Chain A
Amino acid sequence: MSERDAAFQEYFAARSDAMRGTAYLLCGDWHRAEDLVQQTFTKIYLAWRRIQRHEAMDAYTRQTLVRTYLSERRRGWFRFESVSDELQDSAAPPGIHPEERMVLLGALAKVPPKQRACLVLRYWEDMSVEQTAAVLRCSEGTVKSQAARGLQTLRGLLIGQERVR
């Protein structure tokens, strides 16, 4: 194995779980999240020589992940899957009702993709407005308004579902 391949494997092992968590919140399905992560790291591998000198490789990888997700949404073939037919490998930890998780995932699915990306980057990845704007290729004002709208949309959906339940 070349040193490049070894370095790539090492980086993948270190960061793929974190990136997969972000991907899961974006698309709502673990299998799809793994596809997104694989696509993302393949792009990283192809550009390895250029980005290995990059000072913020994690930021670059995260940016690639989000843009891949948004690009797929734009192409229209991606469909949000909030429920998996397959049994999970392990039981959910105690204390968190599965229904609550499905409610949030279902509500997230209804938040427009860019607003959802804003929410995930700001409140899951803890990225600044400036960093989020750079990833999403938009202005900082748009990030602020999209995040606020996304949160309000989510809040409204969850309140609505709570009433239904």
Chain B
Amino acid sequence: MNEQDLKRAFEDVVVASSPPPSMDPGQALDAARKARSKRRSSIIGALVAVLVVGVGLGSAFALNPKAAREYMTGAGPSSSSSWPDGQTDRTARNGPQADRANKLLEELKGVVPAGYDAPQLKYQDPKYSGGDMQRTQAQIASDRGQAPQIWEYVAETPVRKDGKVGWLLVESSTPNRGLPAEPCALARKFWGMDGECQVYDVKGLRVGVVQRNTSGRDQFDKWATYRAQDGQIVTIAQDDKYLGGGYPELDVPVFTEQQLAELATDPRFRVGG
């Protein structure tokens, strides 16, 4: 089952389970009114106790229905609009965008240092149900309707040496003006993880390198993030172990921080152009 299968299965389940008739708005309103009365009574009781009855209550329950009605005319079904190029959701599973993610994986495998290999392995942790550890994804990272679209490509692979396995990931994004310009601020946006960061200079290019992951999460020891002149953003991340892989971890990091920074500036990873 992939993401598309799951989406289709969700639709099948909801349709096939014979949803009961729509809920009655009148009954819903009655229940909500009762809850409001109950809460109001509690609030009044509390306020009487401190002799400030009425303060705030009027404003707390004041009405402004006109604005609400105006807002609601714009409310539509959550899944009404469509994705581009025949996609059923934000992930492209074939076609040129998916090809870019696959290319990213090939490029990542191509930079693995001598002495290591980048094999396709299966997760040993039962929680991962034997899934592939080497994988790619191409997805629209922006909201539907947002222009220009932001595409995000991810490739990850195990890196193995002497039976020990680490984790390499590259994430490449088309320009995203919503992200900070300062290299370390940008690097700290990667997967929402914080860390101790230093700006590295790679032939005049400034790269944010997170040297220690302080997010408390067991995902990636170090990563480097670079925003190119054309706005594309590349992050190279590494971990001595592959979370959930169940294999012994590498003795030493695959890349130094300087090497991570250099890789982040490598134009081969800017696949969104």
Contacting residues, chain A, for B6 (C-beta < 8 A) = 119, 123, 151, 154
Residue A81 at the B interface, CB < 8 A? no
B189, closest chain A residue (CB): A140
| Distance between A22 CB and nearest chain B CB, rounded to angstroms | 8
Contacts A25-B14, A157-B129; A9 near B20 (Cβ below 8 A): no
Contacting residues, chain B, for A93 (C-beta < 8 A) = 15-16
| Distance between B113 CB and nearest chain A CB, rounded to angstroms | 26
How many of chain B's residues have a CB under 8 angstroms from any CB in A?
68
Residue A164 at the B interface, CB < 8 A? no
Q: Is the beta-carbon distance between B71 and A57 smaller than 8 angstroms? A: yes
Residue B50 at the A interface, CB < 8 A? no
Contacts A24-B19, A90-B18; A12 near B13 (Cβ below 8 A): no
Q: Is the beta-carbon distance between B141 and A128 smaller than 8 angstroms? A: yes
Residue A68 at the B interface, CB < 8 A? no
B62, closest chain A residue (CB): A49
Q: Is the beta-carbon distance between B19 and A139 smaller than 8 angstroms? A: no
Contacting residues, chain B, for A113 (C-beta < 8 A) = none
A111-153: CB near B (< 8 Å → 1, else 0) gives: 0000000011001111011110100001111101100110111
In angstroms, Cα B44 to Cα A81, docked, is: 39
In angstroms, Cα B15 to Cα A42, docked, is: 26
Q: For B129, give its contact among A8, A62, A155 (CB under 8 Å).
A: A155
What is the size category of the interface that chain A forms with chain B?
35 or more
A1-38: CB near B (< 8 Å → 1, else 0) gives: 01111111111111111101100110000100010011
| Distance between A150 CB and nearest chain B CB, rounded to angstroms | 9
Q: Is the beta-carbon distance between A37 and B15 smaller than 8 angstroms? A: no
In angstroms, Cα B141 to Cα A144, docked, is: 12
Interfacial residues of chain B within 209-260, with CB under 8 A of chain A in the complex: 215, 217, 219, 243-244
| Distance between B87 CB and nearest chain A CB, rounded to angstroms | 10
A54, closest chain B residue (CB): B71
Q: For A49, give its contact among B10, B25, B64, B75 (CB under 8 Å).
A: B64
Contacts A7-B72, A48-B68, A128-B143; A92 near B22 (Cβ below 8 A): no
B81, closest chain A residue (CB): A126
Residue B202 at the A interface, CB < 8 A? no
In angstroms, Cα B65 to Cα A119, docked, is: 35
Q: Is the beta-carbon distance between B31 and A38 smaller than 8 angstroms? A: yes
| Distance between B30 CB and nearest chain A CB, rounded to angstroms | 10
Contacting residues, chain B, for A34 (C-beta < 8 A) = 20, 23
Residue B185 at the A interface, CB < 8 A? no
Q: Is the beta-carbon distance between B12 and A96 smaller than 8 angstroms? A: yes
Contacts A4-B65, A18-B77, A21-B19; A159 near B32 (Cβ below 8 A): no
Q: Is the beta-carbon distance between A126 and B90 smaller than 8 angstroms? A: yes
Residue B47 at the A interface, CB < 8 A? no
| Distance between A40 CB and nearest chain B CB, rounded to angstroms | 10
In angstroms, Cα B193 to Cα A149, docked, is: 19
Contacting residues, chain A, for B10 (C-beta < 8 A) = 25, 120, 123-124
| Distance between B14 CB and nearest chain A CB, rounded to angstroms | 5
Contacts A52-B67, A93-B15; A12 near B29 (Cβ below 8 A): yes
In angstroms, Cα B23 to Cα A124, docked, is: 21
| Distance between B195 CB and nearest chain A CB, rounded to angstroms | 12
In angstroms, Cα B193 to Cα A119, docked, is: 21
Residue B94 at the A interface, CB < 8 A? no
Residues of B at the A interface (CB closer than 8 Å) are: 1-3, 6-7, 9-10, 12-23, 25-26, 28-29, 31-33, 35-36, 39, 60-69, 71-72, 75, 77-79, 83, 89-90, 123, 126-131, 141-144, 190-193, 215, 217, 219, 243-244
Which 3 pairs of residues, A with B, have the shortest CB-CB distance? A156-B129, A141-B191, A139-B192
Given A101-B16, A128-B90, 13 more pairs with CB closer than 8 A: A3-B69, A11-B68, A21-B14, A21-B19, A24-B19, A37-B23, A48-B68, A89-B20, A101-B17, A104-B9, A139-B192, A139-B215, A152-B128
